[in-house]
């Protein structure tokens, strides 16, 4: 079997439902985009461009609008994505508010690493672990480097999964970068969740990553990906194909924006 490259999102998807993982990553069936995913991409791309950029708030908001228009032009050619005028208004305004939060934060300095892919071997020749780190660097006047993952979704303490922070700190440290602290920065609520990985926890994080990764490796060898029905099935792109929902029909439809214009200002 070819060596397997896994990421935090792949591990999380397999945890949620092995069959969903198979549809998505093994059979590579296309997934639907959504206004929320679109917004996340534009905000990340904008922040990447804003590091160390001088200019006032209006100028920085214009960068967001420019990125929005660029992403929208590219997304128009993609199957399964459209956004009506009301959605564009709603998500565009959310994005502008997130950019305001970012430019008023202490995270605007150019960090050592921005939107950087990190990859290390978990099981030599068999499994690699890959992570895209949004920001790794010092914050404000502090001297300690911190990994920051920008979140454009809703902050919900009940559903917060902080393992991603530990996994990214482990990944960077495994590559020889001296970092112990990681954060999730929820831009909509201006809420920051910080976790520190102690030296003694380093191996424990690797063990969890290994256990999760080996489960996928073995599932691939046996072609054994059982469905796992749950509340999140309602947001699964593969529900119309899924045997446990074979009687149900996907009702979701997106209506395309009629004039292709940006709906928010």
Q: In the set 32, 114, 244, 263, which binds ligand SF4 (CB under 6 A)? A: 244
Q: What is the CA radius of gyration of the chain?
A: 20
Considering only 36-44, 47-55, 83-91, 226-234, which stretch makes contact with ligand SF4 by CB under 6 A? 226-234
Work out whether 238 is an interface residue with ligand SF4 (CB under 6 A): yes
List, in order, residues 6 or more apart from 150 with CB less than 8 Å away.
Answer: 43, 44, 47, 102, 134, 135, 185, 187
- The residue from 47, 146, 167, 242 that contacts ligand SF4 (CB under 6 A) is 242
Total chain residues near ligand SF4 (CB under 6 A): 14
Is residue 139 involved in binding ligand SF4 (CB under 6 A)? Answer: no
Minimum gap (Å) between residue 19 Cβ and ligand SF4: 4
Tell me, residue by residue from 16 to 55, as one string, x for binding to ligand SF4 by CB under 6 A and - for no binding: -x-xx-----------------------------------
Determine if 12 is a binding residue for ligand SF4 (CB under 6 A).
Answer: no
- Using rule CB under 6 A, residue 191 touches ligand SF4: no
Which span (93-101, 167-175, 227-235, 253-261) binds ligand SF4, by CB under 6 A?
A: 227-235
How buried is 209 (Cβ within 10 angstroms: 0-12 exposed, 13-18 middle, 19+ buried)? buried
Shortest CB 2 distance to ligand SF4, Å: 24
Among 89, 239, 262, 263, which residue interacts with ligand SF4 (rule: CB under 6 A)?
A: 239
Chain positions contacting ligand SF4, by CB under 6 A? 17, 19-20, 227-229, 232-233, 236, 238-239, 242, 244-245
């Amino acid at each position: 079997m070819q060596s397997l490259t896994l990421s935090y999102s792949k591990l999380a998807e397999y945890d949620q439902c092995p069959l969903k993982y198979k549809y998505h990553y093994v059979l590579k069936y296309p997934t639907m985009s959504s206004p929320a995913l679109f917004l996340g991409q534009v905000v990340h791309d904008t922040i990447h461009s804003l590091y160390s950029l001088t200019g006032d708030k209006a100028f920085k908001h214009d960068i967001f609008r420019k990125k929005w228009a660029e992403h929208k032009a590219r997304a128009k050619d993609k199957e399964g994505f459209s956004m009506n005028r009301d959605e564009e208004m709603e998500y565009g305004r959310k994005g502008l508010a997130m950019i305001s939060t970012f430019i008023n934060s202490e995270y605007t300095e150019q960090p050592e690493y921005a939107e950087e892919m990190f990859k290390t071997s978990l099981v030599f020749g068999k499994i690699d672990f890959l992570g895209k780190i949004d920001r790794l660097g010092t914050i404000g006047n502090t001297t300690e480097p911190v990994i920051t993952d920008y979140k454009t979704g809703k902050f919900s303490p009940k559903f917060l999964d902080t393992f991603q922070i530990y996994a990214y700190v482990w990944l960077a440290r495994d590559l020889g970068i001296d970092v112990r602290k990681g954060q999730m920065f929820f831009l909509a609520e201006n809420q920051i969740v910080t976790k520190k990985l102690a030296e003694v926890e380093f191996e424990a994080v690797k063990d969890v990553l290994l256990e999760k990764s080996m489960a996928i490796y073995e599932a691939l060898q046996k072609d054994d990906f059982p469905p796992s029905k749950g509340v999140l099935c309602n947001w699964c792109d593969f529900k119309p194909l899924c045997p446990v929902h074979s009687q149900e029909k996907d009702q979701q439809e997106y209506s395309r924006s009629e004039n292709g214009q940006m709906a928010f200002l």
